[in-house]
Structure 1
């Protein structure tokens, strides 16, 4: 369940960042100009990373004991975080790569948790 929420949160964050330049002129009219602030992006990214950590840790602890989903999640967060250090033309690339890595971490965690053979070998119950 948490992995699915993490996937949704990451996808919404990426969608927000990609659509922001298109919607930016309309934000003040809608009273939503705070969404264009970099601080808001970082807060949402931190919340997404925390949710991802909880989701991955749950699967790690109960089922698979694999660390690489965490590495993929944090690499995605780092790629996403540094996007403002580069030209605006390449920022969508960082958004897409960072979000894809975070979503991939959740999918891998789901796959590892739902792996019946592995659970049978380790004595887990799914």
Structure 2
């Protein structure tokens, strides 16, 4: 393997690991938002802000497109890409839902699928 291939592989792994971490943070955000806002009645304006969700989806799209798309081109497996895109579709659907439990469920399903796509992408390189 050349030095360029090693560097590219390291970048892909870093993108996949970042995608998994961001997905986990998103799931935690969803659960904590419901608990904090419904239990304490505080922070709804910040935690339910549509801008946060839109920006998060854009970041997830970029990381998944580059990391998983690049991986799919290298290892020729479509499962990571298909699963991640399905997850991103759930996340997009969550943006169209009213704030609350339904949105959180769609988002958590979405981030779980995106994380699975990144994980499969990492495994496909081994």
For the aligned pair, the TM-score class normalised by the smaller chain equals 0.7 to 0.9
Partner of 1:66: 77
Partner of 1:75: 86
Alignment of structure 1 residues 17-56 onto 2, 5 Å: 17-24=30-37, 25-27=41-43, 33-56=45-68
Question: Post-superposition shift, 1:19?
Answer: 1.1
Partner of 1:124: none
Question: Post-superposition shift, 1:53?
Answer: 1.2
Inter-CA distance 81–100: structure 2 relative to 1 (3 Å threshold): same
2:115 counterpart (88, 91, 103): 103
TM-score by length of 1: 0.73
Larger Rg: 1
Question: Post-superposition shift, 1:43?
Answer: 1.1
Unmatched 5+ residue regions in structure 2? 1-13
Question: Post-superposition shift, 1:56?
Answer: 1.0
The count of aligned residue pairs is 109
Offset from partner CA, 1:16-62 (integer Å, 9 cap, x none): 1221122333438xxxx43421121121111112111111123223x
Partner of 2:102: 90
Return the alpha-carbon distance in structure 2 between the equivalents of residues 96 and 44 of structure 1: 13
TM-score by length of 2: 0.73
Contact 2:30 2:108 in 1 (8 A): no
Partner of 1:15: 28
